[in-house]
Structure 1
Amino acid sequence: MVPDVSTGSRSRGLLSYLFGPGRRDEHTDPHIVAAFAMPGIPDPGRAPLDQHHTLLSELADYLDQPVRVREQRTGKKVPQHVWHCPVRTAPGDRYLTDEEWAEVARRIVHATGIAPDGDDDACRWIAVRHADDHIHIMATSVREDGRRPRTNRDGQRAQTECRKIEAELGLRRLKPGDLTAAPTPTSAEQAKAQRAGNTTTAREWLRDEAYAAAAAARDEAEYFSILTTLGIKIKYRLGPQTGDVTGYSLAAPDDTNGHDEPVYFSGYNLAPDLSINRLRERLTAHDLTDQPTARTSGPGPWHQADTALRHLHTSLLYQEPEGGEQQDSVLQAHAAAFGELLHNTAATAPTPLRTELRAAATSFNRANRSAVRAEHQSATALRTAAKELLHTLGSDKDGGGLASLLSTAVLTLIALARWNEARGLRQQATAAHQTLAHLQTAYRQAAQPVLADLTSRTPSPHTTQRYATVLRAAIPDQATRILDDPSWPALATTLAKTESTGQNPRHVLAGIAQQRELDTADHPAEVLNWRLQHQTTERQAARARAATARPHRAGTAGTVPASATGATPPRTPQPGREVPRKLR
């Protein structure tokens, strides 16, 4: 059961909608099921057609009477005096009778402070039903005694009451809200998108683009620059004293109102973590010394991101039992950086993978919004690796680096979902599982051609059998599952490549098997293949770094190397050797 509280200023306009045919003729039999005073209250839905509009006006005036009295007494107009709360059952729930909906309405107005039980001076309200699965509760937010009702946190209180009603009426139990959900598009926004032939509303499109821009940006200026290049209009809110930016709003291209003016949405109204303050916390944590720079050598960007993700995965698996809020803040920061990694991976991956990766990034936006405050400075390494995907010249010639990264991302996401579940963050955990479905599909798309190529280059049967014997000795408990895995031939090829670099296959297999248990892996040979490839790349990178850092033999201080002048360097005496005299 889903309540959705909002406010407005036109009682007559809302009543016309509630008792009208709807925007797409979807309203059937509109009628009042409950009210603050049922006997004698006009019901336009059950009146003859020739009296319909007259009764609408009478009902609006009747509900507005306390509002008009207050305005006459104070000499000021009451702002946003119309309180509106649709309440909808979940798909698949049973049909509720008018009597049951009436009880739901009475409990909602009591819980939200609109009309507490037994309060004769409470606000005037009605509940209208015009469909099988929902009602609309409308109230005017001035009490009979002229005071405004105490409706602070009314949306949260309505949610809490709905959870109780679901249990009592045997309805589907929805997840409790935590005030971190992004605002949903209004019915007017949805209808506008349908008329324009768009699958998403302007609000949703702006939200997705803002998240992607935040993932790519290195600072606040670049964030707004990226949005501008997309044709998005930006309106800044400036402080009256300092002139500093204290907020911003975005408008989609060609999205205008009836006056041909851009329709702006503030960052907070797109999503709580897109407000200017939350953005600054994330962007300023990315220090200038950690900015990505173009690379032409060393491990590729996919490998670097994979390494950073493996560290996060290990942290999630081995959390301190008494880590408390500090540990949660660190892990929440890494979850935010993981979201940026998904967005940047979607932007740079091969085209066939981008649809699923974008869907994964969009789903994870909800999983990342949490009441846990993130300590963004602690996730610098992962965030830098995520931005390297956009600012690095490296390439992934065979696709193995990306496939390995996505394999690690799947494992990390599973661990993040469990972390959310352990802390009672049910909405975030559900969003993480939705993300997982898209991410697993993208992984299969990336991994299949790589594994097929490795399989086509499987070593000779004799060599493959030798590796099987080595495997049984190194990982006896899992050997049968690994050898039965369809990806075993691909792993054998990777073992051959590893052995060619001078590594002992048995020692390597034993080492990578200890990185994490294999019992829960559906395809243990695949898991070992990516671990082995990653370790080999790390080994090669370490050797390259060591060679670069090794000091070169040079001349003594104050001398010029021969290569710099073209002259022959002077000969110096060697210990125990005499310099021959020059012959005359």
Structure 2
Amino acid sequence: MISKPKRGANTLGALVYLYGPGRANEHTDPHIVASWDGFAPDPGRDPEATLRQLRDALDLHVVRYRAKREFDKHVYHRIVRAADTDRTLSDEEWEAIAHRVVAAAGIAPEGDPDGCRWIAVHHGDNHIHILATLVRADLIQADLWEDQYKVEDELTKIEREYGLKDLSDTRTREYRNAIPKRAKGAELRKAQRLGREETDRDRLRVGVRRALAGAAGEEEFHARLAEQGIRFEIRRKPSGDPSGCTFTLDDGQVGKEVWFSGSKLAADLTLPKIHERFAVGADEPAPGRPGDQGRSATVRYRASTTTDRAAATIDDDPRTGQVAAVVSGTIEVLDTLALTSPVLSRKEINHAARALEYTAVARTRAARGEMRAMRSAARELLYGGPADGSGEEGTAAATVLASLVLLAIVIAKWHAVQGHQRQAEAAHAAATHLRTVYGRHAGRPLALLDTRGRQLPEPVRDRQEAALLQALPADQAARVLAEDGWAALAATLAEAEQAGHDPQALLTQAAGQRELASADSPAAVLTWRVRRNSRLPAPVPKATAEDRRTSAARSRSATGRTTTPAGTAAQPPRPPAPPAPDTVRRTR
């Protein structure tokens, strides 16, 4: 049996779907086969029962709970489907199965009179829908911790008892093989006893990933492990051939170390998978050299270009191997970005990387080209040096973060199409974390550009609007023009035009790098792409006359003589005003 959960916020909407024809007319004779008390009103059998009556009964505890506090997504919807080759199960059999599933999930534990309210609706093609509302009779939210794993274990028992096809391998492959391995009870208790937020297993997994991110080979990998206090050993067969690898934290407790094999950390941290990464390689660069100032901004711009290409790759070629490579490489990029970003940004970026681990694709060989490109971007970020988050580095950080948000959304869409709900939710969680840190970097430069855009002369603004309408499809252009971010984009296009670029060509190039429809602000995405592609400097506040007078006074006071005020003649001359439209130099 296969079972997948969904969460929602509309009980009546879910009931309308269950008692309707379904998306492909697969719902025949919908009726309740089991419920929390055995007396739920059933519109499928009782002509006087209505969907609203059933909704009110299911939502009873939710309404009482919401009188005191908010609760979003209170609806729990789980499909339980038999295999195509299984015999047709009776209503009585489905009733018994439903009771076991809701007990395993934590919705209505066996013998608990205060469990949640739920129903199981049977359809004609050998499956049921379990619909529950997640507030118990004692007005406590249901505890659904690891519900999927517990339901899977119960389904394995059900299959054996009822003589059904054993699909445990399929369930394990889909939900468990690719995701990080769970800590055991003893590990959790140890972490709690020592006052640590993470278990040793989790600390090792993150440390090994960071050591791998962009590493060119085993020597560099081992050195990075040692820097993080992680010991590494290779297990060998009697023949001397390697059979695996193990890791432990070097806490100074000789003889008491707890070793974890790579497979016990994550499916892609086994010795063969680690060697596979080294075989793929990573281009450039050598460790940073003196005089490499500004490199951290440059590598972030390049990483954003690589990220945009990765998103386009999934759109163009959504094969599993391509997605596996992109996900693995993106985690490396995020880990190195976390290590080289300002302190305030590291936590959210790390959370995004950890969330994306749950979107990994199991048992497939990653595409070498995509893996190499992303690993190279990670290596450049690592050796490009730390960024302080201001000026050009802040703008470059906002650019790569905007690209990573959209890539996470593309990954979420791919998993959703495959029916991988949990992986899709994890990708959306990663996007949420990235949006948070993006806002910290993007707020100031976008505000400066917005001010400039609103001050543009009307002919200049109209010219940029015309370029947008010619470069983008009508619906996309209309959305961008309606955004608050349009002024910032107009300012960027005017600046690029003044530097000798063709705004329409820049917009066509930026829009051609895909995935604008899912962006929170397509105007902002286009702004960063145009600035990156045309190599425009970071926006800085313009000094006012009062600022210049104050600066000059301070300079005279400090030196006792008149000096060139900061921000005037000491800087390069201002560029000339933009020429008339018919004389603008275009570069295509």
Interval of TM-score (by shorter of Structure 1 and Structure 2): 0.5 to 0.7
Counterpart of 1:430 in structure 2 is: 425
Structure 1, residues 146-177: CA drift from partner, whole Å, max 9, x if none?
xxxxxxxx999836427979xxxxxxxx9963
SS, match of residue 244 in structure 2 = strand
Which among 379, 392, 398 is matched to residue 384 of structure 2?
392
Map 1:85-104 to 2 at 5 A: 93-97=107-111
Map 1:211-222 to 2 at 5 A: 211-222=209-220
SS, match of residue 282 in structure 1 = helix
CA distance in 2, matches of 1:188, 1:420: 33
CA distance in 2, matches of 1:240, 1:215: 32
Q: Tell me if structure 2 keeps the 8 A contact 1:182–1:272.
A: yes
1:493 CA displacement: 2.1
Counterpart of 2:249 in structure 1 is: 252
Unmatched runs of 5 consecutive residues or more in structure 2: 3-100, 114-141, 161-170, 538-588
Which among 321, 324, 329 is matched to residue 329 of structure 1?
321
CA distance in 2, matches of 1:271, 1:88: 29
Is 1:419 the counterpart of 2:417 in the alignment? no
1:488 CA displacement: 2.1
Q: Tell me if structure 1 keeps the 8 A contact 2:465–2:490.
A: no
Q: TM-score, normalised on structure 2?
A: 0.58
Code of the aligned partner of 1:445:
R
CA distance in 2, matches of 1:163, 1:433: 33
Is 1:177 the counterpart of 2:175 in the alignment? yes
Which among 343, 348, 361 is matched to residue 335 of structure 2?
343
Counterpart of 1:404 in structure 2 is: 399
Structure 1, residues 387-406: CA drift from partner, whole Å, max 9, x if none?
10011359674222221111
Counterpart of 2:201 in structure 1 is: 203
Rate the CA distance shift 1:317–1:468 in 2: closer, same or farther, 3 A: same
Rate the CA distance shift 1:389–1:459 in 2: closer, same or farther, 3 A: same
Tell me which structure has the larger Cα radius of gyration: 1
Q: Tell me if structure 2 keeps the 8 A contact 1:215–1:340.
A: yes
Code of the aligned partner of 1:437:
T
Structure 1, residues 463-508: CA drift from partner, whole Å, max 9, x if none?
5533454356435544443233222222122112201221232443
Q: Tell me if structure 2 keeps the 8 A contact 1:281–1:376.
A: no
Is 1:500 the counterpart of 2:498 in the alignment? yes
Code of the aligned partner of 2:522:
P
Which among 331, 353, 360 is matched to residue 345 of structure 2?
353
Structure 1, residues 436-470: CA drift from partner, whole Å, max 9, x if none?
22122222222212212323444734155334543
CA distance in 2, matches of 1:538, 1:380: 28
Rate the CA distance shift 1:438–1:189 in 2: closer, same or farther, 3 A: same
CA distance in 1, matches of 2:534, 2:278: 34
Structure 1, residues 286-339: CA drift from partner, whole Å, max 9, x if none?
06x65556484888101111111111111112227xxxxxx4223312221111
CA distance in 2, matches of 1:519, 1:163: 44
Q: Tell me if structure 2 keeps the 8 A contact 1:293–1:388.
A: no
Counterpart of 1:487 in structure 2 is: 485
Counterpart of 2:266 in structure 1 is: 271
Rate the CA distance shift 1:538–1:412 in 2: closer, same or farther, 3 A: farther
Code of the aligned partner of 2:347:
T
Which among 153, 158, 163 is matched to residue 158 of structure 1?
153
CA distance in 1, matches of 2:277, 2:158: 34
Rate the CA distance shift 1:393–1:160 in 2: closer, same or farther, 3 A: same
Which among 224, 245, 265 is matched to residue 222 of structure 2?
224
Q: Tell me if structure 2 keeps the 8 A contact 1:360–1:439.
A: yes
1:520 CA displacement: 4.1
Rate the CA distance shift 1:394–1:496 in 2: closer, same or farther, 3 A: farther
Structure 1, residues 336-395: CA drift from partner, whole Å, max 9, x if none?
111111111111122221110000111112212523332335521221112100113596
Counterpart of 2:66 in structure 1 is: none
Q: Tell me if structure 2 keeps the 8 A contact 1:339–1:368.
A: no
Q: Tell me if structure 2 keeps the 8 A contact 1:339–1:365.
A: yes
1:226 CA displacement: 1.1
Is 1:366 the counterpart of 2:366 in the alignment? no
Which among 415, 438, 447 is matched to residue 443 of structure 1?
438
Counterpart of 2:239 in structure 1 is: 241
CA distance in 1, matches of 2:158, 2:397: 43
Deviates more, 1:363-372 or 1:87-96: 87-96
Q: Tell me if structure 2 keeps the 8 A contact 1:202–1:255.
A: no
Counterpart of 2:192 in structure 1 is: 194
Counterpart of 1:375 in structure 2 is: 367
Unmatched runs of 5 consecutive residues or more in structure 1: 3-86, 100-131, 135-153, 166-173, 321-326, 540-584
Deviates more, 1:176-185 or 1:472-481: 472-481
1:429 CA displacement: 2.6
CA distance in 2, matches of 1:249, 1:519: 44
Map 1:459-498 to 2 at 5 A: 460-463=455-458, 465-467=461-463, 469-471=465-467, 473-474=469-470, 475=472, 476-498=474-496
SS, match of residue 235 in structure 1 = strand
CA distance in 1, matches of 2:481, 2:501: 21
Is 1:316 the counterpart of 2:314 in the alignment? yes
Code of the aligned partner of 1:241:
S
1:279 CA displacement: 0.7
Q: Aligned Cα RMSD in Å?
A: 3.9
SS, match of residue 368 in structure 1 = coil
Counterpart of 1:83 in structure 2 is: none
Counterpart of 1:303 in structure 2 is: 301
Code of the aligned partner of 1:430:
E
CA distance in 2, matches of 1:473, 1:204: 50
Map 1:30-179 to 2 at 5 A: 93-97=107-111, 158=153, 160-161=155-156, 177-179=175-177
Q: Tell me if structure 2 keeps the 8 A contact 1:250–1:264.
A: yes
SS, match of residue 522 in structure 1 = coil
Q: Tell me if structure 2 keeps the 8 A contact 1:292–1:387.
A: no
Rate the CA distance shift 1:214–1:458 in 2: closer, same or farther, 3 A: same
SS, match of residue 413 in structure 2 = helix
Rate the CA distance shift 1:279–1:506 in 2: closer, same or farther, 3 A: closer
1:207 CA displacement: 1.0
Counterpart of 1:23 in structure 2 is: none
CA distance in 1, matches of 2:515, 2:230: 48
CA distance in 2, matches of 1:530, 1:444: 13
Q: Tell me if structure 2 keeps the 8 A contact 1:300–1:394.
A: no
Rate the CA distance shift 1:334–1:420 in 2: closer, same or farther, 3 A: same
1:90 CA displacement: 6.5
Q: Tell me if structure 1 keeps the 8 A contact 2:268–2:274.
A: yes
1:524 CA displacement: 2.3
Rate the CA distance shift 1:538–1:338 in 2: closer, same or farther, 3 A: farther
SS, match of residue 107 in structure 2 = coil
